[in-house]
Structure 1
Amino acid sequence: MKKKFYTMFASVMTFGMLLSACGEADDAEENGGTADEGEDTGEEVATDDEVRLQMGTGSTGGTYYPLGGEMANVINDNIEDYEDFDISAVSSGASVDNLSQIFQGEMDLGMTVHLPAVDSLTGAGDFEGVEVDNFGFMGHIYPEVMQIAAPADAGIETISDLEGKSVAIGPPGSGTQAAATLILEAHGLEEGDYTALEEGFGDAAGRIQDGSLDASFGLLGLPAGSLDELSVNTDIVLLSIEDDAMDYILENSGYAQFDIPADSYDQVELDGPVNAITAYAILVGSTDTIDEDLGYEITKALFENSESITHDQGQHLTKENAMNGSDGLPMHPGAERYFEEEGLLD
């Protein structure tokens, strides 16, 4: 079930060849019409003062995509030393996909769960056999909480009940998929014990509504807007991780235990706190295409102006939280300079 890095590598290379074949017009359409001239929109073009960067987010129905769009806007509006600067936030397969595209030079920045970022440094987990060494930590974004939704009338009360069911485990290369397969494994469910759909929570929510999907995993912010929207028209339950399964997960990963409060959602009635796991969403930047000065400007623009982000999870993007998820990761030189100035480093 686990998607290894060489699978992601092949996908990235195919993606790159398709972009070259389609040309600049298709590239602009794919990225919301924001791409400019140049074969690779992830690189600086024309002059030192004209910069075009791409930031990988996640699926359109998750937290990364809308939040990443606001983050890009904040940075674009507050860069000081570049006359013509633009970061385009683009939809992607999220964590592992973003890291692999940075590795291949297709992305300049990416949102990712901190755990696969740590794995990528040593060729572990989804990066088996390939060590990624061209990125640096640029700050904590928000805590991600695994939320497992199922229709209230489906008779699914536990994660073990997902045996034989259709389950959305997240896009290939996403932190959601890595965590989902671990959680299912901890409850005794292996590949083949359930029908896995590799798609984001947004698409999965539509399938739950029309009755073609039994459950969906989502490593999301809390509360998650997409789950709120789903619960307006569909009665759902959130599945809790069993205690013995939680022990297995904590022993075999870097996730932490997290209680989802019973009052987290207006439309979802919970009998009590839901036993879940959490990790950190972080921003990373390429050390190939983003030099120290540019990295400093990006980090400063984001953290000095994050209060203008309206997304619910923007409240966590603060200087006080900036170092969360940084353990075990290299710091981008520009971000390191900013964090040192702010007294955030030991």
Structure 2
Amino acid sequence: MSYFNKFLTGLTVTLFVVTLTLAGGASDALAKSRLAFSGGPDGGTFQYFSNAISSRLSRTQTDMDVSNMMSAGSVENLRRVNSADADFGIVYAGDMFLAKQGKLTGDERQYHNVHSMAYLYGAPAHLLVLASSGITDVKQLEGKRVAVGPAGSGAAASAQRYFTGVGLWDKFTPEFIGYSQGASALGDRLIDAMWVFAGYPNSSVIQAAASNPIRILSLVEAAKAPGATFFQDHPYYAEVTIPAGTYQGVDYDVKTVQDSAIWAVGKHVDEGQVYRSLTDIYSDQGLAFMVSVTRTAQSMQIKDGLFGVATPVHKGAAKFWTEKGLTLSDAQKAE
């Protein structure tokens, strides 16, 4: 064989190998699932979590490419995931529960295609009064003025649920004002109490405590008192403790209630992908990465993986959590 023919033969073999390699790479690329994670507004806690989870899974899972999407928040995420316009999302446990029942505000549709994966973090209720007020119990708010958050806000909705459940909503005057305005009004004694529904430490509570000595009332005892219906009516709320020392002058644990931010997933998502996503994010390396992005992720622990979940979990999540030793409640069992 001539040198030229040997050259052509070698070139042909080389091109054939390159073609196979490129074809294999293209095949791998085509096999990689493209998933969407619906988070929240830019700069918000939802967006920190969704962006962190998306970027890590895209890097660690060879068959998954997860893109982060901005959104208006919990309800939009729920609708996107339910309709498969997104695969993952962050949704409050309360919204998931109400949506399954067809009881979202102004929306009677029942959402059955969105399931829970894991508890991420909580938004606990703070009920502040001035230490000098003499108010030490929730029942003493009868006849008082209570700032509950702006009209139409999640804070105001949670306040109405709580105070209705303990029989007080129609026995005091609600003031529909924001947190910062409420903190100022409390300090000026224009109101008697202030309701804040947010993660701790909260800047408005810090503001109020810096101006005057405050007391934060415990809420669980009233919610469990005879005749109270709060936990029965709203099973997605969970008990939580705001530790002593979180706020200036509050040197005792506060037993309160919270809604939970849940990692949600569409029923259509592959069981194996859900299982492996949880396996990666809830590994020691995954949790360390989440905390490096946002300190709020310190609440993500294996033992609390189903905390506050009041709706069915995805089959892939059920497999993961039961392997970790958690027991699913009747409400959490996969459909």
TM over 0.5: yes
2:227 is the alignment partner of 1:253: no
Task: Say whether the 8 Å CA contact 1:67–1:313 is kept in structure 2.
Answer: no
Given the superposition, is the C-alpha separation of residues 58 and 230 from structure 1 closer, same or farther in structure 2, using an over 3 Å criterion?
farther
Separation in structure 2 between the aligned mates of residue 91 and residue 307 of structure 1, nearest angstrom: 27
Give the SS at the match of 2:148.
strand
Residue equivalent to 2:181: 207
Residue equivalent to 1:200: none
Give the SS at the match of 1:295.
helix
Residue equivalent to 1:238: 216
Task: Say whether the 8 Å CA contact 2:209–2:247 is kept in structure 1.
Answer: no
RMSD (Å) for aligned C-alpha atoms: 4.1
What amino acid is aligned across from residue 299 of structure 1 in structure 2?
L
Deviation by residue 1:75-99 (Cα, 9 ceiling, x = unmatched):
412431247432245452x3x4543
2:322 is the alignment partner of 1:306: no
Give the SS at the match of 1:131.
coil
Given the superposition, is the C-alpha separation of residues 239 and 141 from structure 1 closer, same or farther in structure 2, using an over 3 Å criterion?
same
Task: Say whether the 8 Å CA contact 2:281–2:287 is kept in structure 1.
Answer: yes
Task: Say whether the 8 Å CA contact 2:35–2:87 is kept in structure 1.
Answer: no
Residue equivalent to 2:246: 265
Residue equivalent to 1:315: 298
Q: More helix by proportion, 1 or 2?
A: 2
Residue equivalent to 1:168: 149
Task: Say whether the 8 Å CA contact 2:275–2:316 is kept in structure 1.
Answer: yes
Where structure 1 has 5 or more consecutive residues not aligned to the other structure, the ranges are 1-45, 198-203
Separation in structure 1 between the aligned mates of residue 69 and residue 261 of structure 2, nearest angstrom: 19
Separation in structure 2 between the aligned mates of residue 58 and residue 313 of structure 1, nearest angstrom: 17
User: What TM-score, normalized to structure 1?
Assistant: 0.62
Where structure 2 has 5 or more consecutive residues not aligned to the other structure, the ranges are 1-28, 329-335
Separation in structure 2 between the aligned mates of residue 280 and residue 124 of structure 1, nearest angstrom: 18
Task: Say whether the 8 Å CA contact 2:35–2:86 is kept in structure 1.
Answer: no
Task: Say whether the 8 Å CA contact 1:103–1:134 is kept in structure 2.
Answer: yes
1:285 equivalent among 265, 287, 296: 265
Deviation by residue 1:242-264 (Cα, 9 ceiling, x = unmatched):
85554212343324555544x24
2:111 equivalent among 126, 132, 147: 132
Task: Say whether the 8 Å CA contact 2:118–2:306 is kept in structure 1.
Answer: yes
Give the SS at the match of 1:130.
coil
Give the SS at the match of 2:112.
coil
Moved more, 186-195 or 310-319: 186-195
Matches within 5 A, 1:1-346: 49=32, 51=34, 53-57=36-40, 65-66=44-45, 68-70=47-49, 72-79=51-58, 80-82=61-63, 84-88=65-69, 90-92=71-73, 94=74, 96-104=75-83, 107-124=86-103, 126=105, 129-149=108-128, 160=141, 163-168=144-149, 172=153, 174=154, 176-185=155-164, 186-190=166-170, 193-197=173-177, 204-211=178-185, 214=191, 216-221=194-199, 223-226=200-203, 229-230=206-207, 233-235=210-212, 236-241=214-219, 243-244=221-222, 246-247=224-225, 248=228, 249-254=230-235, 255-258=237-240, 260-261=242-243, 263-267=244-248, 269-270=249-250, 272-288=252-268, 290-304=269-283, 305-310=286-291, 311-326=294-309, 329-339=311-321, 342=324, 344=326
User: What TM-score, normalized to structure 2?
Assistant: 0.64
Task: Say whether the 8 Å CA contact 1:75–1:302 is kept in structure 2.
Answer: no
Identity %: 17
Deviation by residue 1:182-202 (Cα, 9 ceiling, x = unmatched):
2222352239942324xxxxx
Task: Say whether the 8 Å CA contact 2:113–2:266 is kept in structure 1.
Answer: yes
Residue equivalent to 1:36: none
